Every structure is written in C-alpha cells, then in structure tokens.
Amino acid sequence: MLQKGLMLEFKKDPKRVLLAVAQKRDGKKNWMVSDQNGAMTSIKPQQITFIVPGVENFDHTEISDFVQRAQSNLDPMFLEFAWIELLEKNKSVRVVKLAEFILTDDFW
C-alpha cells in the first residue's frame, strides 16, 4: 500500500525511470510524487516499478545521497556470495531480506 514518505521507482516515460518520494494522493488512485530532481509529478499506480523496502518517511532531497550510498555498495561479489549461500541452504528470499543478508556482519 502506497503512503506518504515511501521511496519508489516509477516510469516517467518509456525510456526513463526515476526515483521519487510519495507526497499525497491525487484523486482516487493517482499519487503526487517528488522525483529526484525535485519536480512534483502525478503518477498512476501502473507507472510504479518498485517500492524501496524499508524506507519510510523519506524526503526527496535525500534521494541523491541514497543513490550514492547504494552505488558505493554495488559489488557483484556480494551478490554472488549471497546467491551461493542461499542456493546451498535451498532458501528463497525477498529483496529486503537479501539486502539485510548481504549487509550484515553475519554474512561475512
């Protein structure tokens, strides 16, 4: 369920995907969001491609910092090790749990 303060990814047009923070309802189904550039946009639920788990009460001015921190943690080795570990234990996992698994000291 979408609510104010959630960070999401949405399809601006067929070739562009942006990060934004939900601000308020815009009619019955649409939402006003502030994107990573600070622009307010009304989006339909069908435009949402991903809701960032574990991020609540987020401010759109923090999106750039979030992206920078996420990119600094991008290392294919982490994902490969996590994948192998999960395969060996025959476990399925959601995005939030995979991130927690990779980023905790227990993994290493």
User: 47-75, pLDDT tens digit by residue?
Assistant: 999 888 777 888 888 888 888 877 766 67
| pLDDT of amino acid 19 | 93
In the chain, where are the structural domains located? 7-72, 73-108
Residue-averaged pLDDT of the chain: 83
- In DSSP terms, 18 is beta-bridged to 10
Q: Could you tell me the fold of the domain covering 7-72?
A: SH3 type barrels. (2.30.30)
Is 0.75 surpassed by the pTM of this model? Answer: no
The four Cα atoms 40, 71, 62, 102 give a dihedral, to 10 degrees, of 110
DSSP designation for 101 = H
Residue 103 sits at the vertex; the CA angle it makes with 88 and 85, to the nearest 5 degrees, is 5
Q: Quick check: 33 and 20 in contact, CB under 8 A?
A: yes
Other beta carbons within 10 angstroms of residue 8's beta carbon come to 22
